[in-house]
Structure 1
Amino acid sequence: MISKRSLLALPALIPGLASAQSAWPQRPVRLVVPYAAGGGTDILARALGEALRPHLPFPIVVENRAGASGVIGSEAVSRAEPDGHTLMAVVSTHVMNKHVLNAIPFDPIADFTSVAMLTRNTMVLAASATLPFTDIPSLAAFARANPTRLSSGGTEALSSFIGLELARRIGAEIPDVQYRAGSQLMTDVVAGNLPLGWTSTASATPHMSTGRARIIAVSTATRTPFFPEVKTVIEQGIPDFDFSGWVALLGPKAMPDTLAQRIYGHVERAFAEPNFLARLTALGIEPDLRAPAACLDAMRREDRIWAAASAAGTLPKQ
């Protein structure tokens, strides 16, 4: 027979259970962003950390660990203790990487715990204002007449895929150029060093005041509220062109469900605050908060989509 004393001692014998039943956090939380500083995901992570700070006894410390399309930072998180003190913010390429990279040292779904879906990433096509086109039809005409003049920047597999897919649909050769972050991509667009680039609204918004870049299309079936005057690719004559990304908050594998739900509750509280939502709007970030189970469902759905695209040979290999 198990004694009452043995039952009381059980959490101490099982680290994950002990973590789930104790207060969170018990020390500063490391929030890994596996991309370079200054990009949309980094901006969001830092804004969320600041919004959570008044409600937690310890701070959220953002750590950029860029490299290999997010794989380096993600691998570090996959090996961390599942006690809620190491989390990461990743874009949808985290799932896509499994199908576009030769090999990755983890499974992007099975080796992590879903905590929350945070935002939707509408991708926008930014172009240097020095170029003569302002929409997709005039871009297509220019690209076909000047087959070596254009290249399109991307920061990960999704934006690269969108760029290559657009080029395929308009019948033009537009090579993909890889960047480590949306901020770097936009700096080159503004400087005139990069003709085109697909990036998030969060990365593009700070550069629009320069007057040296323009947004000529959005990747989703509906327009983005951040650039409501900009038509979708579909509206500009290319049917069924609907692609978007997301940012999710994940933890290491085997985090207790109760702990993931507790962290999600704090995030939900931050997303309910008008000041935080106003800041997201100012930053060009679209909130799309979903609970752990819904986040996991979305990741699994995209895994099936990209697996089919990979089998069909339509994904860019890196």
Structure 2
Amino acid sequence: MMLGRRPLLLTAAALAAPATVSAQTAAWPSRPVRVIVPYAAAGGTDLLSRAIAEALRPVFPQPFVVENRAGAAGVVGSEVVARAEPDGYTLLVVVSTHVMNRYHLPSLPYDPIRDFTPIAMLSRNTMVLVSGTNQPFDSLRGMIEHAKRNPGRVGTGSTEALSSFIGQELARRAGVEMPDVAYRSGGQLMNDIVAGHLPTGWTSTVSAAPHMQTGKVRILAVSTAERTAAFPDAPTTQEQGIANFDLSGWVAMLAPPRMDPALAARITETMQRVFDDAAFRQRLVGMGVERDFRPGPALLEAMQRDDRIWAAAAQAGHIRPQQ
């Protein structure tokens, strides 16, 4: 999806660092900044990262270059950042399964919290259950009944640990067997939904939004307790009989570990000004992004809270490491 090129009301002066900060911080960025997205192109995280990079283009003389390093549920690209110099020239944009992966994958080459510097939470990641209009059901209840009549034959697509967990948790609560079908990105998942190759799938509002005008996709449910502003007509899972179903994630920016706090604050402030800009906020609405900007300390709290939640779910046997 090509994004509009309307310049944002941001100025380099507004983003200038205070005179008291270190020379390294004041000079940042003096060369191109790599923004690692550890997922395939055309997914929701990739689209948001590219929108941020475009928004910063008129602000700094140096570009922010989005680099897709997909593989191993985000581990390949995340490891690059965990081992990078904390100089502000390598950043990471991940979804909340960055934390969940320690319980979903057999092993990680880094600690998802300790080995990164939290910069900012960027958005809420409400998941939506999508299906093609050519499928023999048009509601969540209809999908469940169809899956009961066809046990094990109605696959549900996912792109990472959270969407996989949501799909399998729904199936568990509904008492049906729906095999998980793994995809490398939301873009690939949506292409198969549109083509009719995949019966259903859980993906982000951002991945779903570009396809809603085709007339070939419908949203059966949203994963949260409240409806999403991105698709206000789409009912929640709870509204359709699955009690206490409320699951969502987030998209966040991280940096390598041991970053100078002043430099981390400088990057956080830069992102804050982007996300506070009225033109950019309107762009997010059009993309289906639910803005939820929180600075580094609040992001760290959210990551630690998620870690406790997923640890409890793993202990209860609701998350099992891949073999």
2:149 aligned partner, one-letter code: A
Query: What is the aligned counterpart of 2:226 among 194, 215, 222?
Result: 222
The one of 166, 170, 177 equivalent to 2:170 is: 166
Moved over 6 A (4+): none
Which residue number in structure 1 is paired with residue 119 of structure 2? 115
- Indicate the larger mover: 123-132 or 170-179: 123-132
Q: Displacement of 1:20 after TM fit?
A: 5.1
TM-score when normalising by structure 1: 0.93
For residues 214-235 of structure 1, what are the alpha-carbon distances to aligned partners after superposition, in whole Å with 9 as ceiling and x for unaligned? Answer: 1000000110111111110011
Match of 1:100, as an amino acid?
H
| Maintained 8 Å contact 2:121/2:250 | yes
Would the aligned equivalents of 1:154 and 1:198 in 2 still touch at CA under 8 Å?
yes
C-alpha distance in 2 between matches for 1:82 and 1:19: 15
Give the corresponding residue for 2:50: 46
Contact 1:99 1:310 in 2 (8 A): yes
TM-score, normalising length: structure 2:
0.91
Task: Say which SS state the counterpart of residue 214 (structure 1) adopts.
Answer: strand
What amino acid sits opposite 1:205 in the alignment?
A
In 2, Cα distance between equivalents of 1:242 and 1:316:
20
Select between 17-26 and 257-266 the one with higher mean Cα deviation. Answer: 17-26
The whole-number CA distance in structure 1 between the counterparts of 2:23 and 2:70 is 29
Matched to 1:96, the amino acid is M
Q: Take 2:92 and 2:289, find their aligned partners in 1: how far apart are those partners?
A: 18
User: In the alignment, is residue 296 of structure 1 matched against residue 300 of structure 2?
Assistant: yes
Tell me which residue corresponds to 1:196: 200
Deviations 1:257-288 (A, max 9, x none): 11111111111111121111111111111110
Instruction: State the match for 2:37 in structure 1.
Output: 33
State the one-letter code of the partner of 1:185: L
2:129 matched to which residue of 1? Answer: 125
- Equivalence for 1:10: none
1:181-260 mapped onto 2 (5 Å cutoff): 181-260=185-264
- CA 1:274–1:21 in 2, change beyond 3 Å: closer, same or farther? closer
Q: Which of the pair has more CA radius of gyration? A: 1
User: Structure 1 residue 72 and structure 2 residue 76: aligned?
Assistant: yes
2:140 alignment partner, one of 120, 136, 139: 136
Partner of 1:81: 85
Match of 2:184 in 1: 180
Pair 1:98 & 2:124 matched:
no
Paired residues of 1:20 and 1:258 also in contact (CA < 8 A):
no
Distance 1:252 1:19 in 2: 19
**Cα root mean square deviation, aligned:** 1.2
* C-alpha separation in 1, matches of 2:33 and 2:67: 10
CA distance in structure 2 between the aligned counterparts of 1:67 and 1:93, rounded to whole angstroms: 14
Native 8 Å contact 1:160 1:316 kept in 2:
no
SS in 2 for 1:95: helix
- Partners of 1:49 and 1:148 lie apart in 2 by 42
Please list every run of 5 or more consecutive structure 2 residues that lacks an aligned counterpart in the other structure: 1-20
- Please list every run of 5 or more consecutive structure 1 residues that lacks an aligned counterpart in the other structure: 1-16
Q: Retained in 1: the 8 A contact 2:44–2:207?
A: yes
Shift of residue 57 of structure 1? 2.6
Secondary structure of 2:284 counterpart: helix
| Mapped partners of 1:21, 1:69: distance in 2 | 32
Shift of 1:22: 3.6
Cα-to-partner distance string for 1:34-89 (whole Å, 9 max, x where unaligned) = 00000000000000111122222311000000000000000011010001110010
Asked if the contact 1:28–1:85 (Cα under 8 Å) also holds between the matched residues in 2, the reply is yes
**Higher normalized helix content (fraction of residues):** 1
Indicate the percent of aligned positions where both proteins have the same amino acid.
59
Distance 1:233 1:249 in 2: 29
- Alignment partners' CA distance in 2, 1:251 and 1:275: 26
2:253 maps to a residue whose letter is L
Q: What SS does the corresponding residue of 1:235 show, helix, strand or coil? A: helix
Compared with structure 1, are the counterparts of its residues 112 and 144 closer, same or farther at alpha carbon in structure 2 (3 Å cutoff)?
same
CA contact (8 A) 1:19 1:83 kept: no
The question of whether the paired residues in 1 share the 8 Å contact of 2:152 and 2:179 is answered with no
Report how many aligned residue pairs link the two structures.
302
